[in-house]
Structure 1
Amino acid sequence: MAAPGPVPSGGAGLLVLAGTPIGDTADAPPRLAAELAHADVVAAEDTRRLRRLTQALGVRPSGRVVAYHEVNEVARTPQLVEALTGGARVLLVTDAGMPSVSDPGYRLVAAAVEHGVRVTAVPGPSAVLTALALSGLPVDRFCFEGFPPRKQGELLARLRENATERRTLVYFESRHRLPATLAAMAEVFGADRRAAVCRELTKTYEEIKRGGLGELADWAEGGEVRGEITIVVEGATATASAELGPEELVRRVRVREEAGERRKEAIAAVAVEAGLPKRTVFDAVVAAKNAGG
Structure 2
Amino acid sequence: MTESKNNFEKVLLVINPKSRRGLPVGHKLKKWILNNTDLKVTERHTDYAGHAHDIIRDAHVDNKTVIISVSGDGGMHECNQGVLHHIDKEPVIVPWPGGNACDVFYSLYTKRSWKRALKEGRSRRIDFIEVTIIGPENTQKYIAQQASIGLVADAANIFHKNRPLNDIKETWLVFLSYLTHKPVLVEIDGKKEKTAHLIVTNIPRVGKYLKYPQCKPDDTYFVLSDIKGGKINLGLEIIKSMTIGQKGKILKEFEFLLPEGGIMQIDGEPRHIPNNSRIEIKVLPQYIKVLDWKA
TM-score normalised by length of structure 2: 0.35
The structure with the largest helix share of the pair is 1
Q: Which structure is larger by alpha-carbon Rg, 1 or 2?
A: 1
Greater length-normalized contact order (CA 8 Å, ≥ 6 residues apart): 2
TM-score normalised by length of structure 1: 0.35
The structure with the largest strand share of the pair is 2
